[in-house]
């Protein structure tokens, strides 16, 4: 059979019946979502990874709501998503899981079962295996909405339990997991405290040593030298605590300080010192919010001795503050950043007055030197601060040089080369798509035989696949360059903000320093938040 002439025939777009979905990614994080697992970046990475290899998805936009509750839909990012749905820009929504979409099960159900189906919107929740396109989607949706209801119910129960506990506290009933050191829970009434005669004498000795002028630290050393079990070590020895890390816990000055200020030893219960602010986060309450009930159990210490000790504590505290005021003592700007290279604990800043000239000097020491035989002793604070500041100045100088290099547009040149390569590939892909169209039309119009059409189609598909793979590799390379540049720029900006500083400040430490480690030979390692 003669074939029709096909002059200037080029090569294809082959259309398929497979529906292409224009995707809107929705991300949300609430004020209470502080765990790394639900960050905006993590949600985005999970969804992008899900859609990248699926030809049916065309990513149009990413919508984001930060610090927004899931209990209602009054959110700017979600409203923008709805507007684009109405404008027919989006016909598929993808979220990490249903809880990111919302936590109000009534409104969630309304959107997923009525509004989105009516608007012909496909909805996917990756971690919940929910896809409205699937036949069993209704069953999965019901299951997850039930989970949301159960979560709300659990929170309601938790609030009711908290209310019951608070009422018990107001009645002077003890509700702790275990009794304070020196006491036991009564075997007849777990909300009643009784004196633990096995160790109550230690409490009396601690108060007696304080009356004799012992510091918190000296009392801790005294107890450790006598091999008296610390509160946690005692609980471990009695089987109340099972974790082996508490087995050899030593007495610390902070432990002694808490005992010497605790009203429980004069028969008063002081509870609700802490409040829960999220799932596992607790913070200290204001003193006025404590629940204090007097004379709930037998005292170990008389009120006369207890308040004498409080006077001593206050007097020493005032002397300490007056010395600080006298010497214009600055805050410990290295607090929580400076660690002992021998035992790994935080170094603490102290100050002392020289007897010969009344001058006050400050230094860092490891509190475990005397308490737990750590080999680190002390080091002058001004020596450390000077070394740290000089090293920061060196880092700033290094980064200024880096900026000079970047100003030569080396990175910009690399970006331009890659962008041009990507544009060339995109141009080739557009040509191939045009060939698809021409070949398909020729096949429909019987210019091409079926075997010719299939041969050409497969040939162009293979070419397109190779080009797309090349494009993807170039885009990854371009992204890496941009990421490195943005990281460097962030580093440079923060370094340059402080290049004219003449003193070491807490602000400088927080932004630039990750950790400072001091060893017993006075050598030091400084870890910066950014590499050289």
For residue 85, is pLDDT > 70? yes
Of the candidates 308, 338, 365, which is a domain's last residue? 308
For residue 13, is pLDDT > 50? no
Helix axes 450-496, 381-406, angle to 10 degrees: 140
% the chain with pLDDT above 70:
75
Question: pLDDT at position 1, please?
Answer: 39
Burial (CB count <10 Å: 0-12, 13-18, 19+), residue 25: buried
Q: Which of 34-43, 246-255, 435-444 has the lowest mean pLDDT?
A: 34-43
CB atoms under 10 Å from CB of 98, counted, come to 23
Nearest to 365 by CA among 398, 342, 395, 393: 342
Six-digit token string for 373: 């035989």
Domain of 107, in residue numbers: 21-152
Q: Which of 209-213, 274-278, 431-435, 489-493 has the lowest mean pLDDT?
A: 489-493
Nearest to 122 by CA among 113, 130, 131: 131
Q: Which of 121-135, 153-167, 282-296, 516-530 has the lowest mean pLDDT?
A: 153-167
Do 391 and 519 lie in a common domain? yes
Is residue 43, in this structure, part of any structural domain at all? yes
For the stretch 494-515, pLDDT in tens is 555 555 666 777 777 887 788 8
Question: pLDDT at position 406, please?
Answer: 55
Q: How confident is the model at residue 256 (pLDDT cuts 50, 70, 90)?
A: very high
Helix axes 410-444, 450-496, angle to 10 degrees: 160
Question: pLDDT at position 493, please?
Answer: 57
Do 259 and 376 lie in a common domain? no
Question: pLDDT at position 327, please?
Answer: 52
Do 304 and 348 lie in a common domain? no
Question: pLDDT at position 301, please?
Answer: 93
Q: How confident is the model at residue 300 (pLDDT cuts 50, 70, 90)?
A: very high
Q: Is the Cβ–Cβ distance between 64 and 56 less than 8 Å?
A: no
Is residue 89, in this structure, part of any structural domain at all? yes
Q: Which has more confidence, 394 or 124?
A: 124
Question: pLDDT at position 307, please?
Answer: 92
Measured at the alpha carbon of residue 339, what is the angle toward residues 333 and 344, in degrees to the nearest 5?
A: 160
Is residue 108, in this structure, part of any structural domain at all? yes
**3-state secondary structure at position 195:** strand
For the stretch 379-389, pLDDT in tens is 887 788 888 88
Looking at the structure of the chain, the number of domains it has is 3
CA-CA distances (angstroms) from residue 433 to 11, 145, 374?
8, 44, 72
Question: pLDDT at position 9, please?
Answer: 38
Nearby residues of 118 by Cβ (< 8 Å), 6 or more positions away: none
Is residue 157, in this structure, part of any structural domain at all? no
Question: pLDDT at position 532, please?
Answer: 44
Do 487 and 525 lie in a common domain? yes
For residue 3, is pLDDT > 50? no
Sign of the dihedral through C-alpha 26, 31, 35, 41: positive
Of the candidates 137, 152, 167, which is a domain's last residue? 152
Q: How confident is the model at residue 95 (pLDDT cuts 50, 70, 90)?
A: very high
Q: How confident is the model at residue 259 (pLDDT cuts 50, 70, 90)?
A: very high
The residue to which tokens 């409490």 are assigned:
203
For residue 7, is pLDDT > 60? no
Do 350 and 493 lie in a common domain? yes
Question: pLDDT at position 440, please?
Answer: 77
For residue 116, is pLDDT > 60? yes
For the stretch 147-174, pLDDT in tens is 666 566 556 666 666 777 777 888 888 8
% the chain with pLDDT above 90:
19
For residue 34, is pLDDT > 50? no
CATH code where residue 375 lies: 1.10.287
Question: pLDDT at position 497, please?
Answer: 59
For residue 16, is pLDDT > 50? no
Question: Is the overall model pTM greater than 0.75, yes or no?
Answer: no
For residue 178, is pLDDT > 90? no
Is residue 13, in this structure, part of any structural domain at all? no
Is residue 1, in this structure, part of any structural domain at all? no
Is residue 64, in this structure, part of any structural domain at all? yes
Question: pLDDT at position 32, please?
Answer: 54
Q: What is the spatial distance between Cα 271 and Cα 292, in angstroms, rounded to a whole number?
A: 6
Q: Identify the H or E element spanning 150.
A: helix 137-170
Q: What is the spatial distance between Cα 162 and Cα 155, in angstroms, rounded to a whole number?
A: 10
Q: Which has more confidence, 204 or 362?
A: 204
CATH code where residue 85 lies: 3.40.50.1390
Q: How confident is the model at residue 8 (pLDDT cuts 50, 70, 90)?
A: very low
Beta-bridged to residue 61, according to DSSP, are: 24
Q: How confident is the model at residue 356 (pLDDT cuts 50, 70, 90)?
A: low
Do 302 and 332 lie in a common domain? no
Beta-bridged to residue 184, according to DSSP, are: 194
Q: Is the Cβ–Cβ distance between 520 and 342 less than 8 Å?
A: yes
Q: Which of 178-192, 407-421, 514-528 has the lowest mean pLDDT?
A: 407-421
Do 364 and 481 lie in a common domain? yes
**3-state secondary structure at position 218:** helix
Do 413 and 366 lie in a common domain? yes
For residue 10, is pLDDT > 70? no
Is residue 2, in this structure, part of any structural domain at all? no
Q: Which has more confidence, 278 or 356?
A: 356
Which DSSP symbol is given to 511? Answer: H
Mean per-residue pLDDT over the chain, rounded: 78
Six-digit token string for 313: 């504590």
For residue 279, is pLDDT > 60? no
Query: Quick one: average pLDDT of 449-466?
Result: 80
Question: pLDDT at position 151, please?
Answer: 63
Do 71 and 103 lie in a common domain? yes
Do 368 and 516 lie in a common domain? yes
Of the candidates 98, 132, 152, which is a domain's last residue? 152
Q: Which has more confidence, 486 or 308?
A: 308
Helices (H) and strands (E) in the chain, counts: 16, 17
Do 290 and 193 lie in a common domain? yes
Question: pLDDT at position 325, please?
Answer: 57
Nearby residues of 293 by Cβ (< 8 Å), 6 or more positions away: 169, 170, 171, 172, 268, 269
Question: pLDDT at position 111, please?
Answer: 84
Nearby residues of 66 by Cβ (< 8 Å), 6 or more positions away: 28, 29, 40
Do 43 and 148 lie in a common domain? yes
């Amino acid at each position: 059979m003669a074939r029709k002439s096909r002059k200037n025939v080029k090569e294809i777009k082959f259309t398929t019946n497979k529906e292409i979905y224009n995707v809107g990614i929705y991300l949300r994080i609430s004020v209470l979502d502080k765990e790394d697992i639900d960050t905006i970046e993590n949600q985005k990475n999970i969804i992008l990874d899900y859609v990248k290899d699926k030809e049916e998805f065309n990513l149009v936009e990413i919508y984001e709501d930060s610090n927004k509750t899931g209990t209602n839909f009054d959110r700017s990012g979600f409203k923008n998503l709805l507007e684009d749905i109405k404008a027919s820009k989006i016909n598929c929504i993808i979220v990490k899981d249903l809880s990111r979409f919302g936590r109000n099960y009534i409104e969630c159900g309304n959107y997923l079962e009525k509004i989105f189906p009516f608007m012909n919107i496909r909805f996917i929740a990756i971690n919940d295996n929910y896809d409205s396109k699937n036949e069993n989607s209704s069953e999965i949706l019901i299951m997850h909405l039930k989970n949301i209801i159960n979560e709300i119910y659990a929170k309601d129960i938790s609030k009711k339990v908290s209310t019951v506990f608070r009422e018990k506290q107001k009645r002077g009933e003890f509700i702790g997991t275990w009794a304070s050191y020196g006491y036991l829970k009564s075997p007849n009434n777990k909300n009643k405290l009784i004196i633990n005669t096995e160790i109550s004498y230690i409490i009396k000795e601690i108060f007696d040593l304080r009356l004799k002028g012992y510091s918190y630290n000296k009392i801790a050393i005294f107890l450790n030298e006598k091999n008296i079990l610390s509160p946690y070590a005692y609980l471990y020895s009695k089987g109340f605590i099972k974790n082996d890390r508490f087995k050899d816990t030593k007495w610390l000055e902070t432990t002694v300080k808490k005992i010497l200020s605790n009203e429980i030893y004069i028969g008063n219960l002081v509870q609700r010192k802490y409040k829960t602010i999220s799932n596992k986060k607790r913070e200290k309450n204001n003193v006025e919010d404590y629940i204090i009930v007097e004379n709930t159990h037998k005292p170990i210490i008389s009120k006369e001795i207890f308040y004498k000790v409080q006077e001593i504590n206050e007097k020493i505290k005032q002397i300490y503050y007056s010395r600080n005021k006298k010497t214009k003592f600055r805050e410990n700007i290295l607090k929580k950043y400076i660690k002992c290279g021998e035992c790994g604990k935080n170094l603490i800043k102290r100050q002392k007055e020289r007897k010969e000239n009344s001058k006050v000097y400050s230094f860092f020491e490891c509190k475990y030197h005397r308490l737990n035989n750590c080999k680190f002793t002390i080091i002058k604070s001004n020596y450390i601060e000077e070394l740290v500041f000089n090293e920061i100045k060196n880092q700033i100088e290094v980064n200024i040089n880096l900026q000079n290099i970047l100003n030569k547009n080396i990175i910009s040149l690399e970006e331009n080369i890659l962008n041009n390569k990507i544009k060339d590939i995109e141009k080739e892909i557009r040509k191939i798509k045009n060939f698809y169209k021409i070949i398909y039309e020729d096949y429909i119009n019987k210019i091409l035989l079926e075997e010719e059409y299939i041969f050409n189609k497969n040939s162009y598909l293979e070419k397109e696949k190779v080009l797309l793979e090349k494009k993807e590799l170039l885009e990854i390379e371009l992204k890496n360059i941009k990421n490195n540049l943005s990281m460097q720029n962030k580093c440079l900006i923060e370094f340059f903000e402080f290049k004219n500083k003449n003193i070491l400040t807490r602000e400088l430490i927080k932004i630039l320093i990750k950790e400072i480690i001091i060893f017993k030979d006075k050598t030091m390692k400084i870890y910066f938040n950014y590499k050289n």
